[in-house]
């Protein structure tokens, strides 16, 4: 299984689509458009931030726990399907879900009780997945790193109102914190091999040369892991380059 990771606007979904077409595998996308909780979560963040500024220190976001359990449930279903054949691709990681829940707890958006219940549920999910695939030796995590400016620019371009800092100034702090959590995520991740891509330097969506470079990097890593062989790599490369 291949999993994409990266902050909001890093290009995970775009690279998932590109890579799945390249490999002829199945993409699994994070539930956003059919997610009834996500807009409520952003509104809850805004209200909680205002309450804390007004002196209500224990104000939480009532939708933080609900959102993360929604994602965890959907991710679990997608991972079970993705593991049924090789090199299927998820556009976000279950380990990022856990990071988001920890961040929201540390920010005060979720309670310690909610965090403990979430951690217990996550542990059970991961144990079930380990019964399906007892080893992560063939799995690959691809982390796309982008700067704050790139992130905000892409968020603005895709136009979801609830993500815009112009509509909710508290997102400036939220996005800044998120970048720091991703730095920690990169340092501490040890569940499988990780390939890091510079999303500021390489525009794999608009620039065909950058896209080919990134696909070469990924496919060479898949050869190293034994997920594709050298002949498959050369066939993919020649097909791409014409």
155 CA to centre of own chain: 15
- Number of neighbouring beta carbons within 10 Å of residue 163: 20
3-class DSSP state for residue 44? helix
132 CA to centre of own chain: 22
Q: Which residues make up each annotated binding site for substrate?
A: 30, 42, 68, 92, 97, 163
Q: Which residues make up each annotated binding site for ATP?
A: 6-14, 154-158
- Number of neighbouring beta carbons within 10 Å of residue 171: 22
**Is 91 an active-site residue?**
yes
φ/ψ (deg, to 5) at 197: -115, 135
Which distant-in-sequence residues (6+ apart) come within 8 Å of 174 by Cβ?
45, 107
Distance CA 6, CA 90 (A): 12
Which distant-in-sequence residues (6+ apart) come within 8 Å of 148 by Cβ?
175, 176, 179
**DSSP H/E element including 21:** helix 12-23
Q: Which residues make up each annotated binding site?
A: 6-14, 30, 42, 68, 92, 97, 154-158, 163
Burial class (CB in 10 A: 0-12, 13-18, 19+), 118: buried
Catalytic residue chosen out of the listed positions 91, 137, 173, 200:
91
Q: What residues are labeled active site?
A: 91
């Amino acid at each position: 299984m291949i999993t994409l990771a990266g902050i909001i606007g890093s290009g995970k979904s775009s690279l998932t689509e590109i890579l799945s077409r390249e490999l002829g595998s199945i993409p699994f996308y994070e539930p956003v458009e059919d997610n009834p909780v996500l807009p409520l979560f952003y509104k809850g963040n805004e209200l909680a931030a205002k309450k804390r500024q007004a002196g209500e220190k224990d104000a939480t976001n009532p939708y933080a726990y609900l959102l993360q359990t929604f994602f965890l449930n959907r991710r679990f279903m997608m991972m079970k399907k993705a593991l049924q054949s090789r090199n299927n691709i998820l556009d976000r990681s279950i380990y990022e879900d856990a990071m988001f829940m920890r961040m929201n707890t540390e920010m005060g958006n979720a309670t310690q009780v909610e965090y403990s219940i979430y951690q217990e549920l996550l542990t059970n999910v991961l144990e079930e997945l380990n019964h399906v695939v007892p080893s992560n030796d063939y799995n690959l995590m691809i982390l796309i790193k982008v700067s704050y400016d790139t992130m905000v620019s892409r968020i603005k371009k895709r136009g979801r109102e609830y993500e815009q800092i112009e509509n909710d100034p508290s997102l400036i702090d939220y996005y800044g914190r998120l970048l720091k959590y991703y730095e920690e995520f990169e340092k501490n991740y040890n569940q499988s091999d990780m390939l890091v891509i510079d999303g500021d330097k390489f525009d794999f969506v608009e620039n065909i040369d950058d896209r080919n470079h990134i696909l070469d990097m990924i496919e060479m890593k898949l050869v190293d892991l034994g997920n594709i062989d050298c002949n498959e790599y050369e066939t993919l490369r020649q097909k791409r380059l014409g």
